[in-house]
Amino acid sequence: MLIKFIGMVAGLMIALINIFDPGFHGFVRWIMVICGFLIFISHLKTTLDKKKNTVVNRNK
């Protein structure tokens, strides 16, 4: 769970840093932003699915 949280934070930081203080320019900058958001969303989805399955299993 901690590793997924660190992955979410890292993905969000990559995206936000490249939006507000770009180290890259043009096309590469937007690729970094998109990849950062994809990393964030994938870790968030995995975490939420795991929590949902835990709640469903607990209610059985």
pLDDT value of position 39: 92
Q: Is residue 59, in this structure, part of any structural domain at all?
A: no
Domain that holds residue 44: 2-53
φ and ψ at residue 40, rounded to 5 degrees: -60, -50
CA distance 46 to 24: 29
pLDDT value of position 56: 66
Looking at the structure of the chain, the number of domains it has is 1
Q: Which alpha helices (DSSP H) does 1-60 contain, by range?
A: 2-20, 27-59
pLDDT value of position 37: 94
pTM of the model: 0.76
CA distance 35 to 15: 7
Q: Is residue 60, in this structure, part of any structural domain at all?
A: no
pLDDT value of position 27: 87
pLDDT tens, residue order, the chain (60 aa):
788 888 889 999 989 888 888 777 888 888 888 999 999 999 889 888 887 777 667 766
Burial label for 55, CB within 10 Å (0-12, 13-18, 19+), is exposed
